[in-house]
């Protein structure tokens, strides 16, 4: 009976990370109540203290939209728990500015956790080359970011900034996209 309609079967398409980020951002913009999973024996607390000799990897990425931007940071220790940070940038910014903001926020998070040995990687060849001095910075606003990053880097015992291909930087990219798409209606924190 259905043969007269010329129906064709197609394989389902893969879900793109952008679609996932849009879906999560849509749920975040609605009024919701967080799930409260009270742990038994709540007298125990969690204390985060970074091992001074451990090398950490800081992956960063930024995303710019017409309504603001987002910054994504992933702090990964050699062993232990990964920290995922997503930020909403509530000011108009270029894509390069969002990437610099992500790096600054990542370095601030590393400093707060007393991380002294850091391998930084980002998928913006321009930002990496500007920071290592291979490329000149033509925009005055980006020069100010370089100064801030140099000041934050002075606290580290070891810090190296390298380029990472986009395929190796998907996690911070998704966090940055999430931050740029999320609509925050409650209290916000200025950093």
Tens of pLDDT, residues 108-142:
999 998 998 999 999 999 999 999 888 998 888 88
pLDDT exceeds cutoff 60 at 147:
yes
- The C-alpha atoms of residue 91 and residue 159 are separated, in whole angstroms, by 29
Q: Determine the average pLDDT of the residues in 142-161.
A: 89
- Helix or strand or coil: residue 65? strand
Domain that includes residue 123, residue range = 55-181
End-to-end CA distance of the chain: 64
Q: Are strands 117-122 and 83-89 parallel, antiparallel or unpaired?
A: unpaired
Say if 12 falls within a structural domain.
no
Say if 15 falls within a structural domain.
no
Of 56, 48, 145, which is closest to residue 104 (Cα–Cα)? 145
Give the CATH number, domain containing residue 93: 3.30.420.10
Higher pLDDT, 112 or 187: 112
Say if 24 falls within a structural domain.
no
Q: Report pLDDT digits (tens) over 14-65.
A: 656 666 666 666 666 555 555 555 544 444 334 444 455 689 999 999 998 8
Q: Kindly report whether the global pTM for this prediction surpasses the value 0.85.
A: no
Structural contact between residues 59 and 169, judged by C-beta atoms closer than 8 angstroms: yes
Count: domains in the chain: 1
Q: Please tell me the predicted confidence (pLDDT) of residue 81.
A: 87
Say if 1 falls within a structural domain.
no
Q: Determine the average pLDDT of the residues in 94-117.
A: 92
Say if 16 falls within a structural domain.
no
Say if 91 falls within a structural domain.
yes
- Helix or strand or coil: residue 118? strand
Structural contact between residues 99 and 61, judged by C-beta atoms closer than 8 angstroms: yes
Say if 19 falls within a structural domain.
no
pLDDT exceeds cutoff 90 at 11:
no
Say if 157 falls within a structural domain.
yes
Mean pLDDT, the chain, integer: 80
Residues in the chain, how many? 191
Q: Determine the average pLDDT of the residues in 86-100.
A: 89
Residue 15: which residues within 8 A CB-CB, separation 6 or more? Answer: none
Q: Please tell me the predicted confidence (pLDDT) of residue 42.
A: 41
């Amino acid at each position: 009976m259905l043969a007269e309609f010329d129906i064709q079967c197609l394989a389902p398409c893969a879900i793109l990370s952008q679609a996932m980020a849009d879906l999560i951002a849509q749920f975040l913009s609605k009024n919701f109540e967080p799930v409260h999973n009270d742990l038994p024996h709540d007298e125990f607390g969690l204390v985060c203290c970074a091992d001074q000799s451990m090398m950490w990897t800081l992956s960063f990425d930024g995303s710019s939209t017409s309504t603001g931007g987002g910054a994504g940071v992933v702090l990964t220790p050699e062993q232990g728990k990964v920290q995922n940070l997503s930020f909403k940038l509530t000011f108009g910014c270029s894509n390069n500015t969002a990437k610099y903001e992500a790096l600054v926020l990542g370095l601030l998070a590393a400093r707060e956790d007393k991380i002294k040995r850091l391998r930084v990687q980002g998928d913006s060849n321009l930002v990496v080359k500007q920071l290592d001095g291979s490329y000149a910075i033509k925009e005055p606003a980006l020069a100010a970011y370089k100064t801030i990053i140099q000041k934050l880097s002075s606290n580290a015992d070891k810090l190296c900034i390298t380029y990472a291909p986009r395929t190796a930087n998907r996690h911070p990219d998704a966090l940055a996209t999430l931050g740029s798409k999320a609509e925050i209606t409650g209290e916000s924190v200025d950093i």
